[in-house]
Structure 1
């Protein structure tokens, strides 16, 4: 299985989540695995790519802005967001971009 998302012909959207984590896991790995499985079930989800070093970068790909809004409002995802603010992240930022070309 490739670690690079197999995205369709543009246009589509990318949600870029960058973060700095506190020391320790504190349930992070299990929640990250659950969120990936849950996102994959959402209408409009196209794939994800992720890397972590000093800064974590996760890029998820979506068919449209409405799919992104539904994912942001998902009850389990809202709980993960709350825990991220409380337990896991010392800093984070989310950016949304329209992909107009890929090659």
Structure 2
């Protein structure tokens, strides 16, 4: 995975922090499907994700505006994945939505 290539701010970041259960059945396939579907949504800018060995994971998705975020949340398959996450795959989660007003960085890659 690499750092998302986002445009000049402002844009919206959706930060999804979760703690997994031991249940893996269907998680990887559903996760891949959601990443693929999100990438095809209008307003999607990119995503970054990491999970530690303790089960704590953080996924940040970047969106052009709040309208794009709301539209993604309303997608039927995404809503089904959210329900399955609560029922099977997550002990806890928190979603935070932020407006990115400034960004800066460094890279040795060209």
TM-score range, shorter chain: over 0.9
For residues 27 and 17 of structure 2, what CA distance do their matches in structure 1 show?
A: 15
For residues 27 and 77 of structure 1, what CA distance do their matches in structure 2 show?
A: 14
Larger radius of gyration: 2
RMSD between aligned residues: 0.8
Gaps of 5+ in 1: none
For residues 43 and 97 of structure 1, what CA distance do their matches in structure 2 show?
A: 18
TM-score by structure 1 length? 0.97
Report the more deviating stretch, 71-80 or 18-27: 18-27
Gaps of 5+ in 2: 105-110
| Alignment partner, residue 27 of structure 1 | 26
1:41-93 Cα offsets, whole Å, 9 max, x none, are 00000000000012100000000000000000000000000000000000000
What is the 5 A alignment of 1:2-17? 3-17=2-16
SS state of the match for residue 20, structure 1? strand
Contact 2:23 2:88 in 1 (8 A): no
Q: CA deviation at 1:26?
A: 1.4
Q: CA deviation at 1:22?
A: 0.4
TM-score by structure 2 length? 0.91
Q: CA deviation at 1:24?
A: 3.2
| Runs of 4+, deviation exceeding 2 Å | none
